Structure 1
Amino acid sequence: MLRREENERITRSGPGTPLGRLMRAYWQPAALVSEMDPQRPVKPVRLLGEDLVLFKQAAGGWALVGRFCAHRGVDLAYGRHEDGGLRCLYHGWLYGPDGRCLEQPAEPPHSTFASKVRIPSYPCVERNGIVFAYLGEGGPPPMPHYDCFQAPDEYTFAFKGLWECNWLQGVEGGIDPSHVSFLHRFIDEDPRDVYGQQFSEEVAGTGQKLSKLVGDAYRPDIEVEQAEHGLRVYALRQLTDEIRHVRITNLVFPNAFVVPFGNDKVFCQWHVPIDDYHHYWYMIFYDFAEPTDKQTLLAQRLDEVSLPDYRPLRNRANNWGFDPAEQRDLTYTGMGLDINVHDQWAVESMGPIQDRTVERLGVSDRAVTANRRLLLRAIDAFEAGNPVPARPADEAAAAELTGPLAVDTVAPTDGWEQTWREREAQRRAGSPWAGDSARSAVGAPARSAAGDA
C-alpha cells in the first residue's frame, strides 16, 4: 500500500514532474521503424505527454521535433518533408532536424528573424527495429550493452501495442512472477504449438509446457535482488524433492523488463507513457540460437491489433472478448489464447491509474514492492543531482550493463544457483552472436536482498 502522494509521484510522467524528469534521463522507445511509411517517413508521436513529430533525415538517421510551428501553431505532422527538414504548409517555415528554423520565405530577404526561432528537438538512435529518443536535459547517456541491442538484426523482432492505462501498471504486471500460474493457465493444457508463443513452449527436462508447469506449481518462492540494471527476480518452484524450476526475470530500470521464452528466446519490453492514462509497450524479441522468423511473428501480432494505432482488437470496449464458455472449458480468463490480452485485461481493469492506497500486498508481491521503493529512491536521487540506476556515465560503464540474464530451466534443488549460471554460460558460448558476452554477463552472484513486502 502506498500513500496517495507516493502514488502520484511514481505515476505522473508529464513535463516538469519528478517522475517525468527522471524518465526523460533515459533513452525511450518512440516508434517502430516498420510503422514509418517509406514513401513519407514522417509520423506524429506523443511521448511522455509531449506532442512531437518523428521524421527520417535525408542523410540517414532520425529526427524528433516539436509538433507545432512556432509561427502560428500549425501541425507540422502534415508538413512537407523536404530540404533537409519539415516545411510548414501555412507559410513555408522550414525546420531542421535540430529544431532550428532555417527559412521564413515570407519575411524580408535581410531578416534574421529565423535565427531566433527554434522548436524542441531530441536526439534519436535506431536499435533493432525501434527508434529510441532522449528527451532529457544535457547530452544523452550511451546506450547500455543489453542483449536486445547487441543481437544482430536477423536474430530479433520488434513490435508494440497500445494499453489504455498508466505505464506503471504494465511494468508491475511484467515483474510479477506469481500471476503466470493463474492468469495464463489453461483448463486442460495449452493447445497451441505456435512459433514464438511463450507459454506453449516445453520446459526442457520436464516434458511439460510452461503453462502446465507453472499452473501446477502455483506457489513459487520469490526472491528479489538488486542488480546493475535494476532488479533480478527469482521464481523458484519445487517440482520434486530433487529438482526445482528456476525462472529468472528482470526489471530494467526504469520502465522495462526482460523475460525468458523457453530455452533460447528472450524478450525485452518497455512500457512507455503516451500520457498518464495511456501507454505503448515496445518489445525486442531475440533468439540466442537461430534467426527469427520475422514474417510469422509479424503476422501473429497483426492478427491481434488494429492499425495504425496498434490497439488490441480485444479491449475494454468489447470486454476483452470475454467468453464464459471458453472460461469454463479452455482458458482461465475466457479471453482468448493470446497472453498479451490476459496481461492487458489485468492492468487495464484496474482503471486508468491504479489506486495503490487501497491494495493489500503479500509476500508474493516482493518484486512489485521492491520496484516501487527503487523508483521512489531514484526520483529523490535525481532531484538531488545524484546518480540513478542503469544510467551509464560513459561508454565503459555502458559496456558493463550486459544481459540481463533471463532464464527458464530445471536445476537440482541443491546447487541450483551454480547450475543455472553454468547453463546460461553454455547457451551464450554456443550462440552464433552472444559468445563474446558469456564471461561478462554470467558472473558470480551478487545477492543483495531488495526487501520483502
Structure 2
Amino acid sequence: MMSSAQNDAITRVGKGTPAGELLRNYWQPVALVEELPDVRPVRAVRLMGQDFVVFRDEQGRYGMLDRDCPHRGADLAAGRLEAGGLRCAFHGWLFDVDGQCLSTPGEPVGSSLCKRVRQSAYPVIEHSGILFAYIGKGEPPAFPHFDCFAAPKEYTFAFKGLFECNWLQALEVGIDPAHASFLHRFFEDEDVSASYGKQFRGASADSNMPITKVLREYESPEILVSPADYGLRLIAKRPIDDEHTHVRVTNVVFPQAFVIPMSAEMTITQWHVPVDDENCYWYAIFTSFGAPTNKQQMREQRLELYELPDYISRRNKRNQYGFNVHEQLTETYTGMGFDINVHDQWAVESQGPIQDRTREHLGTTDKGIIAYRRLLVDAIEKTQAGEKTLMVIDEEAAAHLTGPASIDGIAPAERWDEYWKEADASRRAAAPWPAPKA
C-alpha cells in the first residue's frame, strides 16, 4: 500500500519536488511545430508548473525563454518578433534565442545595461514535428535512435491532446495491456480497410482477424514484463486456439513515454508531459513502415475531436464525454463514442486530478505499472543522491538504442516469442526508409 507522501513524491512536478527534479533531466515535448505558424511563430507554454515562451526567430532558430520579462515582469508571449529576437511589448527590450539582451531602447545613449541583462533561455530541438526543450541543469541527454526519430518526416505525423489530470495516471493507462479488452471494447467489428489512422480498428498482423474481435473475445491476457535498456518491454499474450496466440508487444521508454503498435504498418510513440500537477499533454509521433503518412487525413481525423488552439477534447468531463446510454447498451463498452482517446481520458480523469494511490488494490494485470513505479522511485532516489539515471545517455549510447520493436499479430502458439521478432525484422526489411534493426 502506498502512503500519501510516497504518492506525492512520484506525482508532483514543481521545482524542487522529487519527481520534478528527475523529469527536468530529460528533453520534454513543449509544442508541435504546427503551433508556430509562419505568421508570428510565438507560443506560450507551461511545463511542470513553470511558464515559458517558445518562438522561431527570423533566421529560423527556435528558442524558449522564461515568460516574464526580466525588466518588470511583463508577458513576453505578447511580444514582437523583430530585429533578431523577441521584443517585449511593454518597454521594447529585445532578447535572442540564447536569452541575450540585444536592446534596451528606453535607456540613455551609451548605457551598458543591456550587456548586464540576460533572460533564462533553454535549448530547443525539433524532431518529427515536435519541439523538445530541456530545462534541467548541465548538458541534456542525447536522443536515442528510435524509429520515431530515424524515419524521414514523410513517414511520421505528430499530434497532441490535453488531459485534465496528473501526468502519471495518464502515462499508466498506456502501460496497462489489460484495459483495452474492456475500455476499448466494440460490440461489432468495422471494415478493416477503412481503419487508416485509427487505433484498434485494423486487423492483427498476419491475419484477417480484427483487433476489435481479439480484444472482445479474448479478454484475459497473460502479461510478461522484462527490463530493457530504455525501460521496459511488455508482452500481452491472448491464446486464440490450440495453434494460435495473439501477441502484442509494447514498450515503456523511461521516464514518461511508451511505444505501441497502431496497425500492421504503423507505431505510436507517446509522451505524457506535465503542464502542472493536475494537467498534462500527450504528444504522439506516428511512424509508418509502409507508405508515407497521410498527414492531412490524420490531422482532420483528430481535429474532429480536438479543438484548437489548446488541443482540448470536445468530449470531456463537462459534457460527460458524450455518454449515450443506448450506445453503451448496443455499440461500445463505455457509451462514449469510438475514439479510444476519449475512453482513456475518461478513465484517467475520473481518478481525480491526482490519483489517490493509497486506496488502490493492484492485481496481476498491473505488472507493468508496478515495474514502472519501481523504476521511477529508483530514479528519483538516484537523482536526490546526485547519481545518473536511466536514459540519461551520451551519443555513443544513443546510437545503440534503436527500435524498439512494437508488434500486434497472430502467432503460432509454440513460436510466439520468435514470431514477434521475425515480424519486426520483416517489417523493417520491407520499409521504404532504412529502419534500423531493433
**2:311 maps to which residue?**
310
The structural deviation recorded for 1:55 is 0.5
The structural deviation recorded for 1:289 is 1.2
Identical residues among aligned pairs (%): 52
Aligned mates of 2:307, 2:298 — CA distance in 1: 16
**2:35 maps to which residue?**
35
The structural deviation recorded for 1:290 is 1.0
Q: Contact 2:405–2:421 (CA<8 Å) still a contact in 1?
A: no
Aligned mates of 2:204, 2:191 — CA distance in 1: 15
The residue matched to 2:214 in structure 1 has which SS? helix
- Give the superposed CA RMSD: 1.2
Structure 1 residues 28-427: aligned runs within 5 Å? 28-190=28-190, 193-392=194-393, 394-427=394-427
Q: Contact 1:288–1:434 (CA<8 Å) still a contact in 2?
A: no
The gaps in structure 1 that reach 5 residues or longer are 442-453
Counterpart of 1:346 in structure 2: which amino acid?
A
The structural deviation recorded for 1:191 is 6.3
The structural deviation recorded for 1:200 is 0.9
TM-score when normalising by structure 1: 0.94
The gaps in structure 2 that reach 5 residues or longer are none
Q: How many residues align?
A: 437
The residue matched to 2:141 in structure 1 has which SS? coil
Aligned mates of 2:65, 2:27 — CA distance in 1: 16
The structural deviation recorded for 1:390 is 1.6
The residue matched to 1:22 in structure 2 has which SS? helix
Q: Contact 2:225–2:367 (CA<8 Å) still a contact in 1?
A: yes
The structural deviation recorded for 1:361 is 0.4
1:394-439 CA-partner distances (Å, limit 9, x unpaired): 211111111111111121222321222112111111111134x12x
Aligned mates of 1:190, 1:390 — CA distance in 2: 40
Aligned mates of 2:240, 2:199 — CA distance in 1: 20
- The structure 1 segments of at least 4 consecutive aligned residues displaced by more than 3 Å after TM superposition are none
Aligned mates of 2:272, 2:412 — CA distance in 1: 35
**1:17 maps to which residue?**
17
TM-score when normalising by structure 2: 0.97
Aligned mates of 2:53, 2:205 — CA distance in 1: 46
The structural deviation recorded for 1:313 is 0.2
Counterpart of 1:343 in structure 2: which amino acid?
D
Counterpart of 1:176 in structure 2: which amino acid?
D
1:121-163 CA-partner distances (Å, limit 9, x unpaired): 1000001111110111012122111110001100111000011
Q: Contact 2:57–2:86 (CA<8 Å) still a contact in 1?
A: no
The residue matched to 2:179 in structure 1 has which SS? helix
Aligned mates of 1:243, 1:251 — CA distance in 2: 26
The residue matched to 2:59 in structure 1 has which SS? coil
The structural deviation recorded for 1:190 is 4.2
Aligned mates of 1:434, 1:413 — CA distance in 2: 31
1:325-347 CA-partner distances (Å, limit 9, x unpaired): 11001111000111110001000
